[in-house]
Amino acid sequence: MPDPASSSRTDLSAETANDRLKREYWCFISYRHADNKEPGRQWATWLHQTLETYEVPADLVGTKNQRGDVIPERIFPVFRDEEELPADASLSTPIEAALQNSRFLVVLCSPNAVRSTFVADEILRFKQLGKQDRILAAILYGEPTMATNMERECFPRPLRHAIDENGQLIEKLAEPIAADFRLHDGGQGWTSPAAYRDVLKAARMPDKAANEQVNVYMRQQNLMLLKIVAGVLGVPLGVLTARDKAYQIEKQKQRAKVLRRWLTAVSGLAVAALIAGVLAVRNANEAKAQRDQVTAKSHELSDTLGIAYFREGSARLKERRTALEGLAYLSRAVREHAHATSARRLLTFMQQRDVWICEEVGAVPAPPAPPAKEEEKIAVPAFVTPPPPNPENKEPGKFDRVVKGPNGLVAVSWCEDVESDEGSNHAGAGLHHFRVWDAAGKPLCDWIKADAEADFWVGNINRMVFSPDGTWLAVGVERWRQPEYLQIWDFRRGRQVGETLVATGRHPNYQGAVFTAVSFTPEKQNEQGRSCTFLAGSSRGDAYWLSITRPQNPEDEAYTNQVAVVPHHAAVRAMQLLPGTEETFVTASDDAEVWFTPAPGNLQGAGVPVLKFEQPVDSIQASTEGGVMLQAGDKFHHAIKVPAQALAGKAEPRARLSAYTEEEDTQVNVSRKLTGEPETVFQGSMNTKILNVRAQEEPTGISVDRADGVVSAFVLQDGKARLVANGMGSDIVLDPEHGAHQQTLRGLVADLRAVGRGDAVVALTRHFEYQVFDLASGKPLAKPLDESAFFTEEHAADQLEAAMLSPDRSTLLTRSLHWEPPNGSLNWTMLWDCASGEPLTDRLFRWDSNLEEPDMTHEPHLDDTNANVEGLLLHRAKPELYPVLAELGEALSGLKLNAAGELRPVKQSRAQVQELVQKIVQMTR
């Protein structure tokens, strides 16, 4: 096959300079030449050749993509400066012409590219041509940190930021589509498998392990290449990967067909009957073999499609904003390809997460009332007197805002500018006070200064909002070129309650950020005193849910607790707190999204999926049926919650297994307790000093941290301890007493546990990655399972509590924890698919503060009341359940994935969902 780059040069030699300037390209590759020099890492050359030689699947050619464009047979030609430019002194004119004539820009991203002015200019110019939505990023190495770490930053500045109508870069961040070509450790990958293999061998990695690691990376590289191709062709990645696989299978079938025709022709020319008979038998056998091969390939293709939809669906489930789309992908994998793992993931999702379904109801009998106004402006009452004059100010102050509150309360703000040698716009300029009077004109407080820090100038008090009973007053303070301040005041005592809120969020409009909505709920009595809820929404996207408590002792100060912050991607438009035993914060934003956020104690899994509408929701009102009425434009929608408990299994009490040892002792004691006195399971010596010991059930075993730095796993049976694994550093030895297989982990070993029937071992690294090995052969039973990817600042584990492997070795359950002395622990349960390395459940959280023995507070337990872990581990959805599961997944999501890979809306019905839930409950009993 000729080199496409060489053919490009040959074609160009016959072209005139004017022809080259008019030539149209599918892609323009923008890169730093330093990223195209190292042997085995000539990224621009590799991508140029690979794109131009990529054969688009035949059933896609000529069809229209999601943009309405016709899909081509090839992505040809592709522009790259080293290949396309003549050797003249001026490169500006050819590059400008190529940018204008290219449909897509592919940026090779690295710290080198960030330092290149040419790459930055090419990206900016491409955006100025109105093609900012046709830029694709290929990450070679470094990190897309959005300028938080410039040493590692790989996205050039014009790639990170959007442009305004004048074509100038602004602070608003862009979200480029990126394909990640890095190695699993974040280092630079390879375009040549041979070069990568040589590096691994030079590091003394065994041949088998090196070949496996190279193959894993090459599969990742091909997937990332398809991501770029999918962006250029305008088709979903999941569809393209499946079509690409199908196309390769079809090519094999065509080659087999040509072979059969050739054999038939040869047999026709044979004259000998015996030879003809032999050929006939051979052809018949080959035809049968070909049919069997086609059947096997068809099954393989179906499995491939099922896996592709499962991976895409699992990825989308991890984000609340795309979770409903993930349900649609999993549903198609179950319905069309009978994908068992997708069926399990659908079922566990429905057991863990609440979902709100939405029915359009049109005109409602009682339309939601418009939101109450935050304040009512009135004239300054006669009894209001200004504060004493400030002799330092040359200009007199003025009344700025008058607000009427409940029970005749009146709040008045006073503003005066501060004159100084720096003028009125120096930092902190502007003095702003407020005061409250009752209905009889009696002042309830002195003039209170709304103290707001500012880098430039404090504007004015731009809002004052009373709580329904007049106890609290929210005061908003404008700051020039900075976000608005918001303070809650116990004005009768002259004290601010809690911390000052700042209008924050993901939207980049920092300077003009304000609070778009502020409200209180009525007070109610609780154990601590009287409390109410405070809600505030920011133009940058954050919605705040705070509780304010007034203690029963009048001498104690009031305080606030932050219940939740909802991170919208656009300005908050409407808010409502749904009452009931399980309060839910419902928020709507300008991007037509509605988020449902339950109180943290009621939070299920990774969060309630987000609803999306055609128009932004302007009004949110609780309905009489326990749901919520949403007004979007001229349409009304009734949203009802489908609780996760509808399909959840019942938890059963489990025995607790505890192990302990004295510090630097050799003796280990293990006991089991369900009720009454504990039962001794094991007492014995480990023949070495022990720092720590952990115990677990199924199989009954212990994990020991030895004083010499070795971690050991034992199975306890018949009062004896059988050693199954040792680990130190990043190396582990499996079954050291019988055969001894050695494995190297991708991190330092932190824990080892026997699982299954004692015939497998789970190894946990210090960066919280699990690896599962067969004890007899030493071979991995699962892909590495990375729990740290799900860590947050508040939800990071520091030790393994327990691990369980299903009898068929397809599924691993892990329980991690963070110990909170003296007798509390944060616990997280996850279920993993060993074949794919993907989670089969959300990361289920539980807080345990009822541990009995103070000296054993860190010991493991599996008596989880949130979920039946055995049920999650052992349950398999029967094939006859698949159609109902798929239908329920689509009914809950309101979306259906068609054969073309397009998500289409489907009508949601509460009655249909209830019927399907009942069917599944009956079929799983």
pLDDT in tens, 685-713: 877 888 888 888 778 888 888 888 899 99
Q: Backbone phi, then psi, for 551, in 5-degree steps?
A: -60, 160
Q: Backbone phi, then psi, for 824, in 5-degree steps?
A: -135, 160
User: How many CA atoms within 13 Å lie on the side-chain side of 211?
Assistant: 3
pLDDT above 80 for 851: no
Locate 418 and state its tokens.
Answer: 């501060």
Measured distance CA(744)–CA(883) in Å, rounded: 43
Tell the residue number behind the tokens 């000539």, with chain if given: 42
Across the range 144-149, mean pLDDT stands at 71
Tell the residue number behind the tokens 């003025």, with chain if given: 398
CA 388 to chain CA centroid, Å, is 56
pLDDT above 80 for 153: yes
Tell the residue number behind the tokens 């609440």, with chain if given: 354
Structural element, H or E, at residue 379: none
Residue that wins the pLDDT comparison between 6 and 714: 714
* pLDDT tier for residue 514 given thresholds of 50, 70 and 90: very high
Other CB atoms within 10 Å distance of the CB of residue 880: 8
Burial of 436 (0-12, 13-18, 19+ CB in 10 A): buried
- CA angle 406/410/416 to nearest 5° reads 145
DSSP character for 231?
H
Measured distance CA(736)–CA(824) in Å, rounded: 36
Query: Which pLDDT belongs to residue 663?
Result: 62
Cβ-based neighbours of 136, under 8 Å, separated by 6 or more: 104, 105, 106, 107, 176, 177, 178, 179, 228, 231, 232
Tell the residue number behind the tokens 């109450």, with chain if given: 372
Measured distance CA(473)–CA(491) in Å, rounded: 7
CA 856 to chain CA centroid, Å, is 35
Structural element, H or E, at residue 101: none
Residue 162's identity, in one-letter code, is A
pLDDT above 80 for 645: no
Query: Which pLDDT belongs to residue 7?
Result: 36
Tell the residue number behind the tokens 């979770």, with chain if given: 323
Parallel/antiparallel/unpaired status of strands 617-622 and 628-632: antiparallel
Measured distance CA(754)–CA(714) in Å, rounded: 7
Query: Which pLDDT belongs to residue 711?
Result: 93
Q: Write out the DSSP string of 696-757.
A: ETTTTEEEEEETTS-EEEEEEETTEEEEEEEEETTEEEESTTTT-EEEE-SS-EEEEEEETT
Query: Which pLDDT belongs to residue 848?
Result: 66
Measured distance CA(407)–CA(469) in Å, rounded: 8
Q: What is the mean pLDDT of the chain?
A: 80
Across the range 654-670, mean pLDDT stands at 71
Across the range 918-924, mean pLDDT stands at 79
Measured distance CA(529)–CA(554) in Å, rounded: 10
pLDDT above 80 for 658: no
* pLDDT tier for residue 360 given thresholds of 50, 70 and 90: confident
Query: Which pLDDT belongs to residue 417?
Result: 65
Measured distance CA(67)–CA(434) in Å, rounded: 56
pLDDT above 50 for 184: yes
Q: What is the pTM of this model?
A: 0.62
* pLDDT tier for residue 925 given thresholds of 50, 70 and 90: low
Query: Which pLDDT belongs to residue 689?
Result: 86
- CA angle 598/599/604 to nearest 5° reads 60
Locate 877 and state its tokens.
Answer: 């959805």
pLDDT above 80 for 772: yes
Residue 614's identity, in one-letter code, is E
Measured distance CA(469)–CA(906) in Å, rounded: 45
Measured distance CA(324)–CA(328) in Å, rounded: 7
Single out the residue of 557, 531, 556 nearest to residue 546, CA to CA.
531
Sign of the dihedral through C-alpha 315, 317, 322, 326 = positive
Across the range 18-43, mean pLDDT stands at 87
Query: Which pLDDT belongs to residue 676?
Result: 66
Bridge-partner residues for 587, per DSSP?
575, 595
Measured distance CA(774)–CA(327) in Å, rounded: 33
Query: Which pLDDT belongs to residue 267?
Result: 43
Measured distance CA(288)–CA(795) in Å, rounded: 57
pLDDT in tens, 775-810: 989 999 998 999 988 887 777 888 888 888 888 888
Q: Tell me the three state secondary structure of residue 371.
A: coil
The answer to whether the beta carbons of residues 754 and 760 sit under 8 Å apart is yes
Percent of the chain that is helix, strand, coil (3-state, to 5): 30, 35, 40
Query: Which pLDDT belongs to residue 12?
Result: 33
Cis geometry, peptide bond prior to residue 156 (ω within 30 degrees of 0): no
Measured distance CA(217)–CA(181) in Å, rounded: 9
Locate 884 and state its tokens.
Answer: 């109902």
Percent of the chain with pLDDT over 90: 30
Burial of 135 (0-12, 13-18, 19+ CB in 10 A): buried
Residue 875's identity, in one-letter code, is H
* pLDDT tier for residue 22 given thresholds of 50, 70 and 90: confident
The answer to whether the beta carbons of residues 595 and 320 sit under 8 Å apart is yes
Measured distance CA(254)–CA(61) in Å, rounded: 18
pLDDT in tens, 399-436: 888 999 999 999 999 887 654 444 333 333 456 889 99
Measured distance CA(905)–CA(435) in Å, rounded: 54
Measured distance CA(116)–CA(156) in Å, rounded: 8
Bridge-partner residues for 824, per DSSP?
820
pLDDT above 90 for 895: yes
Measured distance CA(357)–CA(628) in Å, rounded: 11
* pLDDT tier for residue 860 given thresholds of 50, 70 and 90: very low
Q: Tell me the three state secondary structure of residue 308.
A: helix
Measured distance CA(237)–CA(136) in Å, rounded: 14
Percent of the chain with pLDDT over 70: 78
Cβ-based neighbours of 422, under 8 Å, separated by 6 or more: none
pLDDT in tens, 302-352: 777 888 889 888 888 888 888 999 999 999 999 888 888 898 888 888 877
Crossing angle for the helix pair 237-269 and 273-317, to the nearest 10 degrees: 180
Other CB atoms within 10 Å distance of the CB of residue 675: 6
